[in-house]
Amino acid sequence: MKMIPRRTVLKGAGVALGLPFLEAMTPSGFGMTPASKPPRRIGWVYIPNGVVEEDWTPHGEGRDFKLNTSNCCLEDIRNDLLFVSNLCHDKARSNGDGGGAHSREGATFLTAVQAKKTGGKDIYLGQSIDQLIAGKIGHQTRLPSMELGIEPTRKEGRCDSGYSCIYLSNISWRSPTQPSGVEINPRRAFDRLFGVSGSDAKEFQQRSADRQSVLDYVADNATQLRKQLGATDRRKLDEYFDSVREVERQIDHVAGLPPLGVSQDLRPPTEPHDFMHHIRLMYDLVVLSWQTDATRIITFMTGNAQTDRVYENLGLNSGHHQLTHAKEKREQIRLIDAFLAEEFGHFVRRLGSVPEGEGRLLDNCMVLYGSAMGDGRRHNHEHLPCIVAGRGGGAIDTGRHLVMPEETPMANLFVSMANQMGVAIDHFGDSNEMLKDVGPSV
């Protein structure tokens, strides 16, 4: 069996399709060398408006803990999760700036700095941790990073007590004055992952118009590759192709696209209207992007800060933010908390179902799920909900509830995660040390 490079891609007209990790990428007879081990991936999943704290925080600590009402749906995957309690984001607090808790919690989540209070164009924040990491290792993959979301970015105007609306709809910042932006359309995200540049643009546009599968354009290249693979790798390749086809099929279905052969003029330009399908499509795209090593760094906003989305799928008829201001509506907020946790659980299970190297794709990922707001009714920025899923290539000791001292900066965890990705830093935002307890004890 011939060894193939880890960064091998299948090419066709306007397409560069990454591959999952295969046995043929490991030197035969020499085990897993540092260069041939699966890469580590890192991601952040943001949830807006905080949670109902008393129904979220697990009971007990260490390995002897019990999940709470809003996250008990994660019981079957608890051994793949690390719950971290008592983290805070001090720079999301007012600190003399008055109202605007939601703008600050969205802006501070991945930057850990205080947002400049302005409704004009003179926004100023800080580089987010994902972009700091992307600046160091992003060149190793086709895309340095990808920023996904569900709700449109608001680029202008004043929101939330005089803050620019930009702060509400961006958690990723390339620089203190430049938000990364958010891709909310699954098809555009898919096309970016498997799309074109330069002279291939015309061919890609034709493929889009013909609505052929991306796999049709790499079929010849794939046939040649299969001849170099053993039986196990051929099975992995087939399973991966099935995943790509399924995502394409779901994108077409949810967007309400017409059958093949219908004029491209009928193709709707908008994202899916069904929230549950939309969020799952985005999660599935993250799985594909990591499976193919198209990028190793992902951020995903399940909603903008201060979102007032009405979760009709849960039988609710009031908006999320509106509900947080009504004490008697706590049970409805719990339904939202549990729903978002279950969708994250679906994503984690998908990562765990993908074989990679000697284990699973999930084993080489670390994904932080959480917010910079603790309880949406209290508008507090301590006791933040935080889960880290995946073992990060052995860097994360999961299956625990880690109870930190009160007022531990969430940025301490970011410093640890960056170092585990090979980006050596000793400080970020308002951190005061590295959070060392996330890894295995030695």
What does pLDDT average to over the chain?
86
Rg (CA), the chain: 22
Q: Looking at residue 319, what is its pLDDT?
A: 94
- Looking only at the bridges linking them, the beta strands covering 41-46 and 365-370 are parallel
Instruction: Quickly tell me which residue has 């603790």 as its tokens.
Output: 374
Task: Give CA–CA dist 430/416, Å, rounded.
Answer: 14
First-last CA distance in the chain: 38
Task: Give CA–CA dist 100/132, Å, rounded.
Answer: 26
Task: Give CA–CA dist 235/226, Å, rounded.
Answer: 10
Per DSSP, 94 falls in state -
Q: Are 325 and 102 in contact (CB under 8 A)?
A: no
Give residues with Cβ within 8 angstroms of 12, minimum separation 6. Answer: 214, 216, 217, 218, 219, 220, 221
Q: Are 228 and 193 in contact (CB under 8 A)?
A: no
Q: Are 102 and 419 in contact (CB under 8 A)?
A: no
| Tens digit of each residue's pLDDT (9 = 90 or more) over 294-351 | 899 999 999 999 999 999 999 999 999 999 988 788 999 999 999 999 999 999 999 9
List the domains of the chain with CATH numbers: 1-26+197-270 (no CATH), 40-184+275-438 (3.40.720.10)
In what order do the strands lie in the sheet containing 146-149?
A: 146-149, 297-301, 41-46, 365-370, 386-389, 81-88, 400-409
Q: What is the pTM of this model?
A: 0.84
Q: 221 falls in which pLDDT band (50, 70, 90)?
A: confident
Task: Give CA–CA dist 215/295, Å, rounded.
Answer: 19
The residue count for the chain:
442
Q: 142 falls in which pLDDT band (50, 70, 90)?
A: confident
| Tens digit of each residue's pLDDT (9 = 90 or more) over 362-398 | 999 999 999 999 999 999 999 999 999 999 999 999 9
* Helix (H) / strand (E) containing 283: helix 275-291
**Could you tell me which of 312, 12, 304 has the C-alpha nearest to residue 168?**
304
